Amino acid sequence: MSTQRVFVARLQGCAVFDPAGDRLGKVRDVVVVYRKSDPPRVVGLVCEIPGRRHVFLSIGRVTSVALGQIITTGLINVRRFQPRGGEVRVMAEMIGRRIQLNDGSGTAVIEDVAIERNRIGEWAVGQLFLRKPKTSASPFAKGPTTFAAWSEVREDQAPGEAQSAEQLVASYSELRPADLANTLLDLPDERMIEVAEELSDERLADALEEMPEDEQMHILERLGDERAADILDAMEPDDAADLLAQLPEGRLEQLLELMEPEEAEDVRMLLAYGPDTAGGLMTPEPIVLSADATVAEALALIRRHELHPALAASVFITLPPYETPTGRLLGVVHFQRMLRYPPHERLGAIIDDSLEPITVSASAAEVARILATYNLVCLPVVDQAHRLVGAVSVDDVLDYLLPEDWRSHDGDPVVSLAPTTASTAPLGSTRGAGRRR
């Protein structure tokens, strides 16, 4: 797929349609988040729906962007749009901003911003359309215009000015979630909350998944209920369930009501199982396809960058429906096996039906034994009717079996299951120690 480029000013007012062709609203703005070195990443659109209500449409819900129309999956959160920390609206905040040109030619004002989709489907800021200061004294004259890449301009920071939380977030953009979590936990409490407010929902959710549950709850409580619900929506369902299980019943239900219905349904299902069972450890979102699907279709699904590597190792073949709980589980097609067959091969012809699934009531120890015995990274989980309800990956089991303080062994690849003594405990802060599910 070639790179697609659209100027934001021309998107403003474009109609938004669902897959059936029904009009949902119109575009009012584009929302981006800054990064350390790369151009700002597009996270969504601000859309106006009937009633002049402005709502947020995640870019992940957008299937087609063209001048004159936007096509979505049809799912829109109708909660009124409120900018989150770190989010910048292109039309409202970037257009008209004065910047410095890196080539030394002076200043310019941003008049339009082009967003581009790369080959893996991510949208980011591309070219800037700039207007330089006018060179004529005539009141009707305008300055010359030019195009520039994001890397060719900069915003000046006053000498001695403290780095803003937004800039701090940008400097953390290259950190892995576990490293970001530890970095946040090393900050003073108020600064940690300030930076957490600036992080995007997805980025903060990734970091929270790597923190102890008491720190997770502390941060979410400081962010407020609506933002907490958005963060929980962005977390993996099993991690969100682990966190919510620590809350009082009333507080738990309050947050579940604020979450997206589909996400809340997954979390409610996981909360029904014991934390030390396959049902409590699993994710309810494995890759599920029909026997008629092709190898090419399966490879396209596991190629998605946001998919966890362990879940991408296998595709589960079931009878309809194909969302958990599915129809009867027919078997598994492993990633390596798919690579040995032509793209047009039907998955039903290469199913591995020798792998026995585990039930939702299987213990964590039993899950670990099967994974180790058969050298697997992912196992299907079924209910009493042999319907696929989820999958347990090796990282889920490790998270449960490792000692609670395993995250405090910085840089030590050796995990000891014996209690840590005072003489062997690592030096430094113990904030950020791991959790037991």
Indicate the domain borders of the chain: 4-88, 94-154, 165-272, 288-399
DSSP assignment letter at 80 = B
Residue 170: its pLDDT value, please? 66
Mean pLDDT (10-residue bins), the chain, 437 residues: 77 89 90 87 90 85 83 82 80 84 89 89 91 79 88 68 60 78 81 87 91 88 90 91 88 92 90 89 92 94 82 93 93 93 95 90 91 91 94 85 57 36 32 32
How many Å separate Cα 351 from the centre of its chain?
Answer: 31
The single residue listed with the structure tokens 């591309």 is 126
Neighbour tally for 205: CB within 10 Å: 20
**CB neighbour list of residue 414: distance below 8 Å, 6 or more residues apart:** none
CB 76 within 8 A of CB 49: yes
Residue 321: its pLDDT value, please? 93
Neighbour tally for 407: CB within 10 Å: 21
Residue 426: its pLDDT value, please? 31
Residue 423: its pLDDT value, please? 33
Residue 412: its pLDDT value, please? 39
The single residue listed with the structure tokens 């049902």 is 279
Residue 89: its pLDDT value, please? 85
CATH number listed for the domain at residues 94-154: 2.40.10
Euclidean distance between CA atoms 19 and 36, whole angstroms: 36
At 12 the three-state DSSP class reads coil
Q: What is the CA radius of gyration of the chain?
A: 25
| The two three-digit tokens of residue 226, written as one number | 């609506």
**CB neighbour list of residue 398: distance below 8 Å, 6 or more residues apart:** none
Q: Order the strands of the 358-359 sheet from edge to edge.
A: 358-359, 378-382, 388-393
CATH of 288-399 given 3.10.580.10, 3.30.1370.100, 3.30.420.10, 1.10.150.130: 3.10.580.10
Note the CATH architecture for domain 165-272: Alpha Horseshoe (1.25)
Euclidean distance between CA atoms 182 and 393, whole angstroms: 24
CA distances from 161 to 19, 156, 158 (A): 49, 11, 5
At 269 the three-state DSSP class reads helix
Residue 104: its pLDDT value, please? 86
How many Å separate Cα 379 from the centre of its chain?
Answer: 23
CATH number listed for the domain at residues 4-88: 2.30.30.240
Residue 140 exposed, middle or buried by CB count within 10 Å (0-12, 13-18, 19+): exposed
Euclidean distance between CA atoms 292 and 251, whole angstroms: 44
